[in-house]
Structures are given as C-alpha cells and as structure tokens.
C-alpha cells in the first residue's frame, strides 16, 4: 500500500511539472529577429503536453496545441513590410513571452566554407567597414560550428542588431550582400550564417539525398561503415601516434634567445648568415630540426605611420613566434595540431607603426622533417590595412638567420600511423547538414547564398551531381518550394606557380564549370563570377565587398525581378568553326571588350586534343579565336586554369565566366572519394 501511494505521488509530481512547464522557443525566435515577409512562416517550441498556445503579431492571432511530448508548431500569418513590431506567445498560464523589436523583411541563409566564413574584420578596409556598420534594419544570426551524426533540432546562436560590435566577426560576404540588398530594396534583412571553413558540399547534404544517388552514395557509406568501433579505433590511433611522436618529435627547450634580444630592432645581427626566402632550410644545408631565427629589415613609408599593418609570412614548418620591432605580434605553436597548414598573418597596432627602418623577426621551430618558410613568394609581405587596393612591401628575398637550438635529423623515420576515417568529423558526409542546417529548418527564408567548392575541386565531375543535389535537398527539407539559391563561382588562385608553356588541365576550372552547369540544372539560381577579384597567392581574397555586390546583382534579377539590371558578365553561348578560326558567341555581351590590350586567356585545340595558347579579337558579341599551331581547330577554352589570365568583360564591368566548348574527359573523372 505504501509503495502504491509513493508511485501515485511520483506520477502526480511528474504531471504537475509538465502542467507548469514554461513555453520555450529556440533562439531563432527572439528579440531582434526578422520574420520572412509574404510567407506563412513557421514558429515552433515546447510547452506542457497538450497545452494550447496563442501567438499574436500585428493585431493578428493564431493558435495551436502542443502534442503529447510538449512540442508545438504554428504558422504565422503572411505579413507585409512593417516597422519594428512585437510577437506575443501565451500559454494556459497566461504568462506571455514577448519578443521585441521584430522586423518583417527578407531572411537569407549564408552558408559554405571559409570564404563565406571569412569575417568583416579581415576584409579590405575592415576597420572602416566595421565603424560604418550601423544598420538597424539588418539583423545578424551566427550559428556556431556544430557537428551531428544524426539530424539535430538544437538551434545555437542569437539575433543581433547590425552594429560595429556585432558585425566584426560576421561573414563578410553575407554582410556585404545583405547591406546591398537592404539598400537596393529598402527592406529589412536577416542574415543567418552557418559556414565552416574547409568543408566539402557533402557535409551540408542529408543522408537520404546522398544515399539516393549511386554516384553520391559512397560518400555516406564511408561514414556509416566507420561508425562501429569508431571510438576504439580512434583511441588506438591516438596511442600509436603519441608513441611515434615521442620517438621522433624534437622537444622545444624554450624561447631563450628572445631573452637575449634577438627580436629587438637594435640587436646586432651583422654576424648572422643570409638565406633567400621562402625556402626550406634543408635546401641550404641545414639538416636539422629545432629553432632557427630569421630577421628582415623593411623601410616603412612616411604615409604608413600611425596605421595598422598586416605582416604575412604564409605557411611555415612547424611553429612560429613573430615580432615587430621587438614586440610579439603573434605565433602558432603545438597547441594547434594543424599549425603547419595555417598561413601566418599578424596585425601590428597603429600606434606601433613609425616611419623608417623596422625589423620583422620570427623564431621558427621545426620538430620533425623539413623546416622553414613554405609559402609562395607573394604570400610574404607587410601591408598597410587601409586603402584599396592595399599597399604592400614584399618580404621575399634575403633574410638574416641564426640557429638557436638544433638536433641532427635521423637517417630513417618509420611511417607515422594513419588516422582512421572519423565518422564524427565535420567533413564527413551529412554531419554539418545534421548539426547546422537541419536545426534551422523550416524557419521562413527568402533564399540562400553559398560560397564553397574549394574542398571539392579534386572531385569536380562529381560536383556536377552533388551541388544541384544539395540545393534540391535543402529545398525539399525546407518545404518552401524552389527558393532562390545564389552562389559564388570560385575565384582565381594559385598564380605563384610558373605559367606553363602550354595549357594544362585544372580541377579548379572543372569545378567552376560544374557551378556554371548548375544554373541550368537547378531552377531559380544565380551565380556571381569572381575570376578577376581573387588573390593568386591567397585562397581567402580580402575583397569581399565585390563578391557581396555581385551576389546582390544576381538577387536583383533572379529574386526581385529587375530585368533592366545587368547581373552577369559574358557567358558562353555557342561556337562556329570558320576555317582556321573558331567564332565564340556570348550572351550578356553588351559592350564586350578586353580589359586591357588584346583579349588573352584563350586556348585552342584540333582533333589531336592538344591545347595551344590562342589569339583572339572581338567583333560585336563574338570572339574570333585562332592559333598558328592549329590549322583545323575543333575546340576552345577560356580562363581554363586555377589562376587564369582573364581579360573579357562587358559594359557593366563584369567578367566573362571561364568555359570550354569541348566535352573531353575531365581530369577529375571518376574521382568519388575525398
């Protein structure tokens, strides 16, 4: 009897707790949010089981009832633009939740990899852009990096009014796009950023979509097959790796040379040797692991005084501590397992910048294998942060150096243990869809902007299927029809390599082609071509303003129906063989011209499929292409390289998209696995 009464008490307490449960909303529904206009946008949350929920907005009311698990959803009425309003949610206890400063406008998802994640503070004129970023009708929501192996509904982040403080770390492409749209359309804009650098498109695509296509199924199969015993395999690998590192990694005894003044501007380094950089120090006969100091003098121009600088050293092996006139400005050490793959870019505060001679000193510590500077020469520079384009002084060339500490390199090293496939890694198929896309669904949106592709360039042929599949996957899950999807074509990158005597194949060019083909495969899409505004030596070009502007131009046409707006550069339309020449016809070719001098960037081939650099001339909306080596041409390519020479523009100043007229086997054909 006592046990029966006790159980009854537990049951009563259980239901009493649920009956008094407060209404809870995910962070998407909060003060400063933006509700998508002209759409019955969903709103959801939790409450007590079977509790009635009433929602009031703009003098309109909707009601719903929580299910037996306490989950509820409702659809707000379709609303027009309005001044800031409130949303009131009331349950059975008559204790309303009031969301304040809510705007009705257009909501955009800003997704992709590092070039979408790239922050406003690191863009060109970042400090000024931040200072001017007071836009009360733009709202920012930054979804933190989240991995999930199964679909999650946990929303993270918060809405913020666009202020200098809020915008500094926000997506630069997203912000500049939203700023232009807000100005052009005079509509409140909400931006939801959910990007992760270095991630492939399959990570943002659901399991069911990948499984449905035989060409994409191996991507998700790899993850599923690795799930059983993953923790045990990971632990065994980490144990083996630790043992290997203990055997072969040199230990850093500490930065004792800094105490001796090796970083100071007045230190006498006249007895030090010189080495041309960038290069691995083994190439100069230093067959050592350990710490080597490098120093270089630069002359700071008078008009740079009092302005913040960027010191770029590019990649180094393995760790660094870097100084400007004796003061530490940055460093990356063993705390970061990917230190060798992180470009070094450090900021010198404005009050530390004086005209005249300055010393940049860096202590490089290599714990195993090759050591030293490892960038392209053009990645080594000091740059004034203000101005467009930025002003730079190259740091490539002769540096003074001295060995602080060294150990001889062993004659033989056993191979390092190979890491098992990690099914819970962010780059594994579907893990970012589950953790960062699915939680937002089905929040009402206008559309999405996307900047990604670098991590899929080695599988560009597969991307022809993968990218359109991902777009349709999002649309299917959102249930909002074919919402607009605007994306950025890969910028130019990799120009530190010597230009080949004859044209070569390019995975990046093939990826750009896959992106272009998506325009025809997926409805309601638009593409911003950025082949002219990348940085040859930096995969993260700082000019994100023009990227946002070109996406906004695409939105003006695709989304907002402004037919009088030229939103695209010249696009390949058709070809016609004319004797020893090929005539290439373009669309979006009003005012077709070469930016400077004769058109360049073309290549031509005959039936032997051997490509040769070609000459071209412009006639109306056509380019006539030829080469003396090819008497009977059959195909033309333009801008077909990682970092091509591009010269074609239209009267709107927009660049022609790279293209090819052939359908010959791609260099990335049949590559299906990461």
Per-residue pLDDT tens digits for 589-598: 999 999 988 9
pLDDT band at 308, cuts 50/70/90?
A: very high
Q: Which two tokens stand for residue 509?
A: 């060019």
DSSP 608-628: T--EEE-EEEEETTEEEEEBT
pLDDT digits (tens, 9 = 90+) for 381-426: 999 977 656 689 999 999 999 999 999 988 889 999 999 999 999 9
pLDDT digits (tens, 9 = 90+) for 372-390: 999 888 889 999 977 656 6
> What pLDDT is attached to residue 390?
64
Answer whether residue 20 shows pLDDT above 50: no
> What pLDDT is attached to residue 664?
97
> What pLDDT is attached to residue 6?
43
pLDDT digits (tens, 9 = 90+) for 48-102: 999 999 999 999 999 999 999 999 999 999 999 878 999 999 998 878 999 999 9
3-state SS string for 302-350 = HHHCCCCEEEEEECEECEEEEEECCEEEEEECCCCCCHHHCCEEEEECH
pLDDT band at 9, cuts 50/70/90?
A: very low
DSSP state of 446: S
Lowest-confidence pick of 155-159, 279-283, 448-452: 279-283
Query: What whole-number distance in Å separates Cα of residue 452 and Cα of residue 196?
Result: 10
Q: What are phi and psi of 304, to 5 degrees?
A: -90, -15
Distance from the first to the final alpha carbon of the chain = 64
Query: What whole-number distance in Å separates Cα of residue 175 and Cα of residue 449?
Result: 11
Query: What whole-number distance in Å separates Cα of residue 51 and Cα of residue 9?
Result: 22
Q: What is the mean pLDDT of residues 198-214?
A: 97
> What pLDDT is attached to residue 449?
98
> What pLDDT is attached to residue 387?
62
The residues, any chain, with a CB within 8 Å of residue 42's CB and separated by 6 or more, are 73, 74, 75, 76, 442, 443, 444
Mean pLDDT estimate for the chain: 93
Q: What are phi and psi of 589, to 5 degrees?
A: -110, 20
> What pLDDT is attached to residue 495?
67
Answer whether residue 441 shows pLDDT above 50: yes
Q: Which residue has the higher pLDDT, 385 or 490?
A: 490
Q: What is the mean pLDDT of residues 239-267?
A: 95
CB 340 within 8 A of CB 316: yes
pLDDT band at 338, cuts 50/70/90?
A: confident
Q: What is the mean pLDDT of residues 354-374?
A: 96
Answer whether residue 36 shows pLDDT above 60: yes
What is the pairing mode between strands 42-46 and 71-75?
A: antiparallel
* CA-based nearest residue to 434, from 230, 204, 218: 204
pLDDT band at 674, cuts 50/70/90?
A: confident
Answer whether residue 354 shows pLDDT above 70: yes
Answer whether residue 16 shows pLDDT above 90: no
pTM comes to: 0.86
> What pLDDT is attached to residue 8?
42
| Helix residue ranges per DSSP H, 118-216 | 126-131, 164-167, 172-185, 207-211
Beta bridge partners of 486: 449, 526
Query: What whole-number distance in Å separates Cα of residue 238 and Cα of residue 244?
Result: 10
Place of tokens 């006539």: 624
pLDDT digits (tens, 9 = 90+) for 497-509: 666 788 999 999 9
* CA-based nearest residue to 109, from 503, 577, 422, 470: 470
3-state SS string for 629-642 = CECCCCEEEECCCC
DSSP state of 439: T
Query: What whole-number distance in Å separates Cα of residue 394 and Cα of residue 264?
Result: 21
Place of tokens 């912000």: 175
Q: Which two tokens stand for residue 555?
A: 């939105």
Place of tokens 């991995």: 147
pLDDT digits (tens, 9 = 90+) for 628-667: 999 999 999 999 999 999 999 999 999 999 999 999 999 9
Query: What whole-number distance in Å separates Cα of residue 449 and Cα of residue 486?
Result: 5
Beta bridge partners of 336: none
pLDDT band at 14, cuts 50/70/90?
A: very low
Q: What are phi and psi of 100, to 5 degrees?
A: -105, 160
Beta bridge partners of 648: 594
Sign, CA torsion 451/454/460/462:
negative
> What pLDDT is attached to residue 243?
96
Q: What is the mean pLDDT of residues 116-142?
A: 94
pLDDT band at 496, cuts 50/70/90?
A: low
Length of the chain: 674
Q: What is the mean pLDDT of residues 340-353?
A: 93
* CA-based nearest residue to 215, from 470, 436, 463: 463
């Amino acid at each position: 009897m006592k046990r029966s009464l006790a159980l009854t008490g537990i049951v009563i307490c259980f239901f009493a707790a649920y009956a008094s449960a407060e209404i809870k909303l995910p962070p998407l529904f909060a003060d400063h949010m933006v509700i998508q206009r002209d759409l019955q946008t969903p709103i959801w949350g939790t409450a007590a089981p079977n509790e009635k929920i009433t929602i009031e907005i703009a003098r309109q009311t909707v009601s719903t009832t929580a299910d037996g698990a306490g989950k509820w959803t409702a659809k707000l009425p379709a609303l027009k633009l309005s001044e800031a309003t409130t949303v009131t949610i009331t349950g059975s206890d008559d204790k309303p939740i009031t969301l304040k400063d809510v705007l009705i406008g257009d909501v955009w998802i800003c997704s992709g990899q590092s070039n979408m994640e790239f922050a406003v503070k690191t863009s060109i004129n970042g400090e000024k852009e931040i200072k001017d970023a007071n836009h009360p009708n733009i709202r920012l929501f930054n979804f933190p990096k989240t991995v999930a192996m199964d679909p999650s509904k946990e929303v993270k982040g918060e809405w913020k009014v666009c202020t200098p403080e809020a915008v500094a770390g926000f997506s630069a492409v997203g912000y500049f796009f939203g700023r232009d749209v807000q100005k052009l359309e005079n509509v409140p804009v909400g931006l939801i950023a959910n990007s992760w650098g270095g991630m492939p498109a399959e990570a943002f695509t659901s399991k069911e979509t990948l499984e449905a296509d035989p060409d994409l199924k191996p991507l998700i199969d790899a993850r599923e097959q690795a799930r059983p015993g993953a923790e045990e395999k990971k632990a065994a690998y980490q144990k083996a790796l630790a043992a290997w590192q203990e055997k072969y990694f040199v230990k850093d005894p500490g930065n004792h040379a800094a105490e001796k003044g090796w970083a100071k501007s007045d230190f006498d380094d006249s007895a030090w040797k010189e080495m041309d950089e960038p290069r691995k120090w083994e190439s100069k006969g230093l067959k050592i692991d350990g710490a080597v100091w490098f120093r270089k003098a630069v002359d700071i121009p008078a008009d740079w005084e009092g302005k913040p600088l960027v010191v770029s050293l590019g990649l180094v092996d393995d760790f660094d501590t870097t100084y400007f006139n004796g003061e530490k400005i940055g460093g990356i050490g063993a705390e970061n397992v990917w230190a060798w793959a992180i470009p070094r870019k450090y900021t010198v505060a404005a009050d530390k910048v004086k005209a005249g001679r300055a010393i940049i000193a860096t202590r490089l510590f290599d714990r195993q294998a090759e050591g030293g500077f490892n960038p392209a020469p053009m990645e080594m520079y000091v740059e004034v942060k203000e101005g467009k384009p930025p002003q730079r002084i190259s740091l490539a060339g002769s540096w003074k150096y001295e060995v602080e500490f060294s150990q001889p390199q062993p004659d033989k090293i056993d191979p390092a243990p190979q890491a098992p496939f990690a099914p819970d890694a962010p780059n594994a198929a579907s893990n970012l869809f589950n953790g960062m896309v699915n939680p937002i669904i089905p929040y009402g949106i206008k559309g999405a902007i996307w900047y990604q592709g670098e991590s899929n360039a080695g599988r560009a042929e597969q991307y022809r299927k993968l990218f359109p599949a991902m777009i349709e996957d999002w649309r299917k899950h959102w249930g909002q029809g074919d919402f607009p999807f605007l994306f950025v074509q890969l910028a130019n990158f990799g120009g530190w390599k010597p230009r080949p005597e004859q044209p070569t194949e390019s995975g990046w060019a093939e990826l750009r082609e896959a992106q272009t083909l998506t325009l025809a495969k997926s409805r309601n899409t638009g593409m911003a071509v950025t082949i002219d505004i990348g940085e040859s030596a930096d995969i993260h070009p700082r000019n994100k303003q023009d990227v946002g502007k070109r996406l906004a131009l695409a939105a003006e046409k695709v989304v907002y129906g402004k037919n009088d707006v030229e939103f695209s550069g010249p696009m390949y339309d058709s070809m016609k063989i004319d004797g020893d020449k090929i005539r290439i016809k373009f669309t979006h070719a009003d005012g077709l011209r070469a930016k400077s001098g004769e058109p360049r960037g073309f290549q031509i081939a005959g039936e032997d499929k051997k490509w040769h650099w070609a000459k071209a001339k412009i006639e109306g909306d056509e380019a006539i292409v030829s080469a003396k080596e090819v008497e009977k041409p059959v195909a033309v390519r333009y801008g077909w390289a990682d970092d091509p020479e591009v010269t074609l523009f239209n009267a709107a100043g927009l660049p022609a998209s790279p293209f090819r007229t052939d359908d010959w086997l791609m260099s990335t054909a049949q590559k299906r696995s990461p």
